[in-house]
Amino acid sequence: MKLTFKYRKEQIKTRTVYRPVVKLSLKSIDDHWYTFTAYVDSGADVSLFPKGDSKLLGINLYKGECWKLFGVGGAIIPAYLHETRVKVGPLELPVRIAFADLNRVARAQSAKKT
């Protein structure tokens, strides 16, 4: 199945950039779905969400497998891996998602319950 992503125009300081975004839903531990608009990074080893999103989904951050992720410039981001389900378009799949141990992780938009 082919998925196509839209690019969103964003102003970064003195220039304009276009970033690919996807609307997806993640399942909480109490079986509710929350919809997010997230950046697409096809080269990432794992999808990264901020700490606050783990709380929203009812996930105990520190019960996940601890990972040290490396960002641009070699920055180390401590994160915890958890399993949940994701919906993207017509697909629903099991996924492993990393939640950072900080709230300043770039995400395109806040979540909302669906």
Q: What is the pLDDT of residues 54-93, one digit of tens each?
A: 999 999 999 999 999 887 778 888 999 999 999 998 899 9
What pTM was computed for the model? Answer: 0.82
Q: How many residues does the chain have?
A: 114
Domains of the chain with CATH codes = 6-113 (2.40.70.10)
Confidence of residue 111 (pLDDT cuts 50, 70, 90): low
How many other CB atoms sit within 10 Å of the CB of residue 65?
11
Q: State the chain's maximal CA–CA distance in angstroms.
A: 43
Average pLDDT over residues 7-31: 93
Burial zone of 4 (CB within 10 Å; 0-12 exposed, 13-18 middle, 19+ buried): exposed
Mean predicted lDDT score pLDDT of the chain: 88
